[in-house]
């Protein structure tokens, strides 16, 4: 019977608290439909690019984006296909989450694998458990770093794992921890001949979605892993002893980083929404400096030229005045007085 071994360390608790705090802000923040659409599209590009790049795909982010937009690029067919396939994987788990499926099944995991390796592996290897022994080697030294279970054990291990996944863990295991455990166990069993990492990451994301931690589909854990791939693989390797605590510390830290990034973006855009409400429902597009000017006037009541250097110490007065002139033309602020002591106030 599969039963993960781990401790709820202080690091895990702190990371979960960070995730919860960010998730609460994101869930209740208003967003303009245009921004929501752009956020989701950007998250898909980042997930697809980083989710394949970490596996050795040499394409650049802009090339991946072009492929997703249907543009032709000059590249190896397999590299292009990996990008297309991972986009389909993300669409699939998004659809499954919207259906609020109650169980993770063998057929669902097989479907994930078929999408990952479509037109890359042979049909008899697509969605089918491996029939041969595989090993994981250090790409630099060639040293064997991990030897997954023999193929004869894979069906049994997967059966036990899926049984555990579908048990009612409410009140016992936080959904983010459950996702981290699933991620590691899929990598450990290594049920397929290829594509296990992508399946593991997609499955973890689906579990987070189903557990209510989708944050509007704006995040990409793949980006966190890919930015320090060595740390990602080292932390997976550490848990091969059977104790998942260090891996879950790493996994929850990554989720915390990604959730915080989304939270900060949302808070900036929420200010735009508030501005829209303040100014009669008009769509307002402002730079970060202009938003800061409006916020300053809200806080103090007015802005004067002598405050420019305090507000923007590295920006010239002429640049700030151009921002102010633009805000005046948009009828957001007005100038009172004509000397250096003049004040800028909101209309």
pLDDT at 279 exceeding the cut of 70: no
d(CA 154, CA 160): 10
pLDDT at 156 exceeding the cut of 70: yes
pLDDT at 46 exceeding the cut of 70: yes
Classify each residue of 230-254 as buried b or exposed e, where b means 16 or more C-beta atoms within 10 Å of its C-beta: eebbebbeebbeeebbbbbbbbbbb
Same domain, 152 and 69: yes
Same domain, 259 and 329: no
Highest mean pLDDT among 78-87, 274-283, 311-320: 78-87
For residue 216, what pLDDT band results from cuts at 50, 70 and 90? low
8 Å CB contact between 31 and 215: no
Question: Does residue 5 form part of some domain?
Answer: no
Which of 270, 303, 332 delimits the end of a domain?
Answer: 270
Same domain, 126 and 173: yes
Mean pLDDT score of the chain, rounded to an integer?
Answer: 88
Instruction: Tell me the mean pLDDT in the region 206-234.
Output: 87
The CATH number of the domain holding residue 158 is 1.10.3290.10
d(CA 104, CA 88): 18
d(CA 147, CA 262): 37
CA atoms within 13 A on the CB side of 325: 6
Question: Does residue 80 form part of some domain?
Answer: yes
d(CA 46, CA 65): 9
For residue 285, what pLDDT band results from cuts at 50, 70 and 90? low
Question: Does residue 119 form part of some domain?
Answer: yes
Question: Does residue 280 form part of some domain?
Answer: no
The CATH number of the domain holding residue 306 is 1.10.10.10
pLDDT at 59 exceeding the cut of 80: yes
Same domain, 312 and 178: no
Instruction: Tell me the mean pLDDT in the region 308-326.
Output: 87
Same domain, 182 and 296: no
Same domain, 40 and 154: yes
Instruction: Tell me the mean pLDDT in the region 286-305.
Output: 81
Instruction: Tell me the mean pLDDT in the region 15-43.
Output: 81
Same domain, 201 and 318: no
Q: What is the pLDDT of residue 17?
A: 95
Which of 229, 244, 270 delimits the end of a domain?
Answer: 270
pTM: 0.78
pLDDT at 281 exceeding the cut of 60: no
Q: What is the pLDDT of residue 272?
A: 60
Same domain, 301 and 154: no
Number of domains in the chain: 2
Question: Does residue 277 form part of some domain?
Answer: no
Which residue range(s) make up the domain with 199?
A: 10-270
Question: Does residue 156 form part of some domain?
Answer: yes
Instruction: Tell me the mean pLDDT in the region 208-231.
Output: 86
For residue 168, what pLDDT band results from cuts at 50, 70 and 90? confident
Q: What is the pLDDT of residue 277?
A: 61
Same domain, 108 and 215: yes
Question: Does residue 281 form part of some domain?
Answer: no
Question: Does residue 279 form part of some domain?
Answer: no
For residue 32, what pLDDT band results from cuts at 50, 70 and 90? low
Q: What is the pLDDT of residue 79?
A: 96
Same domain, 258 and 337: no
d(CA 137, CA 122): 23
Same domain, 40 and 91: yes
pLDDT tens-place string over residues 73-127: 999 999 999 999 999 999 999 999 999 998 999 999 999 999 999 999 999 999 9
Highest mean pLDDT among 18-32, 208-222, 237-251: 237-251
Is 260 exposed, middle or buried, given 0-12, 13-18 or 19+ CB atoms closer than 10 A?
Answer: middle
Q: What is the pLDDT of residue 115?
A: 97
8 Å CB contact between 321 and 304: no
For residue 337, what pLDDT band results from cuts at 50, 70 and 90? confident
Same domain, 260 and 292: no
pLDDT at 339 exceeding the cut of 80: no
């Amino acid at each position: 019977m599969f039963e993960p071994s781990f401790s709820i360390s202080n690091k895990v608790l702190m990371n979960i608290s960070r995730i919860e705090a960010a998730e609460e802000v994101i869930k209740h923040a208003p967003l303009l439909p245009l921004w929501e659409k752009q956020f989701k599209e950007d998250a898909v590009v980042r997930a697809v690019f980083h989710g394949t790049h970490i596996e050795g795909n040499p394409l650049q982010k802009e090339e991946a984006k072009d492929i997703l937009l249907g543009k032709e690029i000059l590249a190896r067919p397999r590299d292009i296909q990996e990008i297309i396939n991972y986009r389909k994987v993300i669409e699939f788990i998004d659809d499954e989450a919207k259906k609020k499926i109650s169980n993770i099944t063998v057929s669902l995991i097989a479907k994930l694998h078929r999408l990952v390796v479509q037109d890359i592996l042979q049909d008899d290897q697509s969605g089918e458990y491996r029939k041969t022994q595989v090993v994981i080697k250090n790409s630099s030294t060639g040293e064997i770093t991990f030897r997954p279970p023999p193929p004869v054990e894979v069906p049994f291990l997967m059966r036990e794992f899926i049984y555990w996944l579908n048990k009612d863990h409410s009140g016992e295991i936080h959904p983010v921890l459950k996702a981290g455990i699933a991620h590691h166990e899929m990598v450990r069993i290594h049920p397929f001949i290829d594509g296990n990492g992508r399946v593991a990451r997609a499955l973890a994301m689906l579990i987070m979605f189903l557990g209510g931690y989708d944050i509007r589909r704006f995040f990409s854990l793949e980006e966190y892993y890919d930015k320090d791939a060595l740390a990602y693989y080292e932390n997976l390797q550490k848990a091969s002893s059977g104790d998942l605590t260090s891996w879950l510390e790493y996994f929850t830290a990554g989720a915390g980083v990604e959730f915080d990034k989304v939270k900060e973006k949302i808070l900036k855009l929420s200010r735009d929404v508030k501005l829209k409400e303040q100014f009669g429902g008009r769509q307002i597009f402002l730079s970060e400096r202009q938003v800061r000017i409006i916020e300053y006037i809200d806080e103090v009541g007015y802005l004067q030229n002598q405050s420019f250097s305090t507000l923007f110490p590295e920006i010239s007065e002429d640049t700030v005045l151009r921002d102010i002139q633009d805000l005046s033309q948009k009828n957001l602020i007005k100038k009172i007085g004509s000397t250096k002591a003049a004040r800028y106030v909101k209309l």
